[in-house]
Amino acid sequence: MEHKERSHRSYEWGMEMNHEPKILVVDDDPMNLMVLEATLKQLGYGVLTASTGKEGIEKAQQEKPSIILLDVMLPDISGFQVCEAVKAQRALANTPVVMVTALGDRESRLKGLEAGADEYLVKPIDRVELTLRLKNLLKVKAYNEYLEGMRNILEAEVAKRTQELQRAYEKLDEAYLEIIHRLGRAAEFRDDETGAHIQRMSHYCRILAREIGLPPEKQKEIFYASPMHDVGKIGIPDGILLKRGPLSPEEFEIMKKHTIIGAKILSGSEHPVLKMAETLALTHHERWDGSGYPHNLKGKEIPLEGRICSLADFFDACTSPRAYRPAIKIEEVLGIIKEAKGKHFDPLVVKAFFKALEEILATKEKYTDASEGERRTEKLPPR
Ligand SMILES: [Fe+2]
């Protein structure tokens, strides 16, 4: 009775090879096929056969054999071409290929190796040599598969950790931006302006930045930075900040300091939003013609963000009611802005303002002071 010479159930590098290794034999000679099939079965291997190169490639793709024994001389395509085709496929690239031929010459061996063959056997096949070669190739294959499995596990783990890190970063960034936003609200609380003012300011600034053509990243930064433009009001005494009616020249000098105080509060950060907030705090009262404060900057000496914030702040202040005056009519405010083009305001920003006027007015309607109670619990707008 035929018996298998050895069992292929073994443990290799922690992997259990509990399946019978399948050897695909590709040979056009029926006698060779029969002899090899019988020998391999006796050695305990499962055997698949193919008698042409194309059939060999098809069976390799379908059956994923453990090893391919490949005759060089085939009726359709050469064994070298079959070997190349097999090695070119990702799923089969690790499948060992043994070229089997009657040609023992150096050129054929080199050609076989060039085609990616792993081993070379010369007919007539020595049974002991065949046994040892197959055993070694199976070990190498199991080792390669183990390494590939480990690499896949590691890659999946790295991808998972990267995703977790990304989520943690996003959460941190959200919390950071929310704190910045709430700092802006805190600064506004003592004033008669409401939280809706900084909501509108954010949107006006972003609309203007977009209309001027600033990149999306800058639009985002100005959106989050603009609520802090008046954070320096924290340092202004109540008697001046909350005074009903016009300020005396001395009081106004103190009031002007909210720009410098705000910039000091926000200075020294590496975060782009806080850096921009510092710029806005310092420059939002500068004027295009140099008549603003605190440094009487003129024209393009004033950072563009500051020029944007200046117009947005002015428009919102004029169109919002104050304890000492009602809101100024839109038409009147638009007239003032037109008149102040090239004087108080940068002509470029004024142009952008009128181009986006419809959207600005819609934003004004959406974020009204009356709805402030609701807005205090509103989530931050999407970034
Ligand atoms: Fe201000």
User: How many angstroms is it from 53 CA to the middle of ligand 1?
Assistant: 82
Lowest-pLDDT choice from 122-136, 158-172, 173-187, 293-307: 173-187
With a CB cutoff of 8 Å and minimum separation 6, the contacts of 214 are 222, 304
Given a cut of 80, whether residue 280 has pLDDT beyond it is yes
User: How many angstroms is it from 246 CA to the middle of ligand 1?
Assistant: 15
User: How many angstroms is it from 344 CA to the middle of ligand 1?
Assistant: 15
Looking up tokens 């809101």 gives 327
User: How many angstroms is it from 172 CA to the middle of ligand 1?
Assistant: 29
Given a cut of 60, whether residue 374 has pLDDT beyond it is no
Rounded Cα gap, residues 383 and 379, in angstroms? 12
Q: Model-level pTM greater than 0.75?
A: no
User: How many angstroms is it from 356 CA to the middle of ligand 1?
Assistant: 23
Identify the pLDDT of residue 104: 62
297 vs 94, more confident: 297
R_g of the chain computed on alpha carbons: 39
State phi, psi for 74 to the nearest 5 degrees: -120, 160
Q: Which residues surround ligand 1, an ion (CB under 5 A)?
A: 230
Written as six digits, the tokens of 273 are: 């939003």
Given a cut of 90, whether residue 82 has pLDDT beyond it is yes
Asked if 333 and 318 count as a contact pair (C-beta separation under 8 A), the reply is yes
Q: Which residue stretches of the chain are H helix?
A: 30-42, 53-63, 79-87, 106-114, 127-189, 195-212, 216-225, 238-241, 249-256, 258-266, 272-283, 304-318, 330-339, 347-355, 357-366, 372-375
User: How many angstroms is it from 360 CA to the middle of ligand 1?
Assistant: 20
Looking up tokens 């300020």 gives 247
**Domain annotation for the chain: domains and CATH numbers:** 10-152 (3.40.50.2300), 190-375 (1.10.3210.10)
Given a cut of 90, whether residue 339 has pLDDT beyond it is yes
Cis? peptide before 272, omega within 30° of 0: no
Rounded Cα gap, residues 203 and 362, in angstroms? 11
pLDDT in tens, 215-252: 999 999 999 999 999 999 989 998 998 887 788 999 99
Identify the pLDDT of residue 124: 83
Rounded Cα gap, residues 138 and 11, in angstroms? 12
User: How many angstroms is it from 285 CA to the middle of ligand 1?
Assistant: 6
User: How many angstroms is it from 112 CA to the middle of ligand 1?
Assistant: 80
